[in-house]
Amino acid sequence: TLDIVFSSCDIFCLPSYTELYSDGKPAEREGIPVALMEAMAWGKPVITTRHAGIPELVDQILVEERSVEQLQEALNYMLDNRDKWAEMGKANQSKLAEKFSKDNVRILGDTFRQWQK
């Protein structure tokens, strides 16, 4: 369960990238991964990729797609700055609650319903 997963981790790392078709064009892109939102809701600091909709939600540690070097630097930064984990986690919880509050979801739903008329 999520309780077991998130209570046993200190940070959440989710590298993501856009798959390319054989013609070199990018495939469909995911918006904001649910797993990322779950980690933020649990108050975990996150390392993730500057990919699709992720930067709309995460503003702490973003690395470029497929950059092993940047991912390594980000992980080392987190390991060297354990004293910032709690603060980063709380900021993630606050940001998630602000962006996806019940009021914001209701307003979005109302907007969609108006456009359907």
CATH class of 2-116: alpha beta
* pLDDT tens digit sequence for 78-117: 999 999 999 999 999 999 999 888 888 888 889 989 988 7
Q: Determine the Cα–Cα distance for residues 11 and 3; give it in Å rounded to an integer.
A: 14
Confidence of residue 18 (pLDDT cuts 50, 70, 90): confident
Cβ atoms within 10 A of the Cβ of 60, count? 17
Per-residue confidence (pLDDT) for residue 29, from 0 to 100: 67
Domain residue spans in the chain? 2-116
Per-residue confidence (pLDDT) for residue 40, from 0 to 100: 96
* pLDDT tens digit sequence for 67-78: 999 999 999 999
Residue 3 to residues 10, 47, 54, 89, Cα–Cα distance (Å): 13, 20, 23, 16
* pLDDT tens digit sequence for 33-55: 999 999 999 999 999 999 888 99
